[in-house]
A and B are shown apart, each in its own frame.
Chain A
């Protein structure tokens, strides 16, 4: 419609406009009649195959495996009913589910809050320096394994940067084993993950901030609102749908966390940082018990669903609110 308006000259007659409208409608009908049909399914066929291989088949096979006694070498040796589920829930796996939820949800909330703060800082302090943009991209481009290595070097009791500083300042006599004592170990994993993903949140939140027109700030300022009031009462509600989307994304990613636990703590000290993904890995790789690992995986997937679905709903609400 916008382009037909461009073709009508200023001051052209009503008849001319009607002619242009007819021409536009004719073009649309023509396009509709010539619209190629049937090619669509061929175009999505590889995707459908991919989804079957990567999502449908794994879920179906996992359900079958979870009712069986299986090892990596010999799957489906014997049907065992709900034994695997009973075993998974009676042992420590239940604890890891709670731990994962109570780790992932606050972590994502903190990262979204910090990311918004960083974005606000960018919004008021710089004019999109490309150096800063490149620097802020680095953490999220870093493989989590390397993030783990870098933070391990920083937090190590012997020769770690943090302990070196604490001891030279005389704050502690003996080095603190951050990765070997609770609650430091879990907090360290959270810190490394926050380092990696806060820039990601900041980039997205910054873009959402930039999309808010300048007049909004001006109108609020004219009404005598303070900067804090402007942020809480005007900007935050406008950011809500974007923030809900970012939170959902971060939550999904936080549930997948595995590499940092592997590199930083191996689930220790004791069992304190053993998240569900790590325990499933242990069941597979140390016990070679595929049946139990399948049951654990299904229970974990259900937990993730139960926690994320309300967030998805919340996101829809936030979107509807802003129309």
Chain B
């Protein structure tokens, strides 16, 4: 970039070429000095990709081949994949997880978006409510486990997907509030004030002005809440049973069986990872910005 700017347009083509070559050589010299960095960089990438690559590799191994301890399958087989779907209700588990994660994230956002706006812009709840909301996130979820078990049973929602959706929806409210706060704060206050002068009420201002402006933040928060719900284990373990069982429980029970078929287990795990990974790759820009805006202020 800088090289082109430096190459003076009045110089002859030959001179420009010489300058360019000199700069390229300099660039290569610094690149060469950076090789330990690139090596470290490569090692980091390998460390983070290896377990996933191995999981994928094992899903193509025959039962004998699994015991070899080699990275790649010696005689790749596709047999594990249909077998994994046949051995358990894997597609049912994945469907339950997808429904629970999307519905609960929608519920979380429906609760958190107006509340965040009111707390940040209208100072509703003063200093106490925002602090208290965040403080509830610090308590381990196991605290809520037993009381919610009795509450769900009383409400007739125990061992049902709607019950789990409500639990996840409430569970992620502090996270959504924490992520959304920075997006709402980043909007200039004058925008709200202009809407108020034009006679818009709080709900109109929120819905017509604020929500469209923080759309990327909303998307990031929604996705993060959906992923948190998809990955959840403890509540799903207690609050669901066979027809409403979610993927994480299905996989955990799969691997707990006495005669574990590692190839099938790997295939089931990879199949369950596909939905989150597709989201991760498609929405990476939003995800990173969402994580960053919440985490570092």
Contacts and interface: CB of A to CB of B under 8 A. Distances in A.
Closest 9 CB pairs of A and B: A164-B69, A40-B124, A31-B193, A39-B202, A47-B115, A43-B118, A143-B231, A58-B147, A43-B114
Contacts of B29: none
A126 B291 contact: no
A59 B19 CA distance: 72
A137 B122 CA distance: 35
Contacts of A142: 52, 231, 273, 276
A189 interface: no
A234 interface: no
Contacts of B51: 147, 150-151, 154, 195
Given A41-B124, A134-B281, A259-B233, A47 B143 contact: no
Contacts of B71: 161, 164
Contacts of A122: 41
A223 to B, nearest CB: 22
Nearest to B119: A44
A133 B284 contact: yes
B233 A47 contact: no
A252 B138 contact: yes
Given A44-B129, A130-B284, A54 B196 contact: no
Given A146-B273, A158-B67, A47 B203 contact: no
Given A54-B171, A150-B269, A164-B69, A145 B146 contact: no
Nearest to A284: B146
Interface residues of A, number: 101
Interface of A: 3, 27-28, 30-31, 34-36, 39-41, 43-44, 46-48, 50-51, 53-55, 57-59, 61-62, 65, 72, 75, 118, 121-122, 124-126, 130, 132-139, 141-154, 156, 158-161, 163-165, 167-168, 195, 198-200, 203-204, 207-208, 211, 242, 245-246, 249, 252, 255-256, 258-259, 262-263, 277, 280-281, 284, 290, 293-294, 297, 300-301, 304-305, 308
B23 to A, nearest CB: 18
A293 B145 CA distance: 10
A280 B69 contact: no
A300 B142 contact: yes
A117 to B, nearest CB: 9
Interface in B181-240: 188, 190, 192-194, 196-197, 199-203, 205-206, 227, 230-231, 233-234, 238
B201 A39 contact: yes
B52 A138 contact: yes
**Residue of B38, B48, B68 most packed against chain A (CB within 10 A):** B48
Given A141-B276, A143-B233, A255-B140, A149 B265 contact: yes
B252 interface: yes
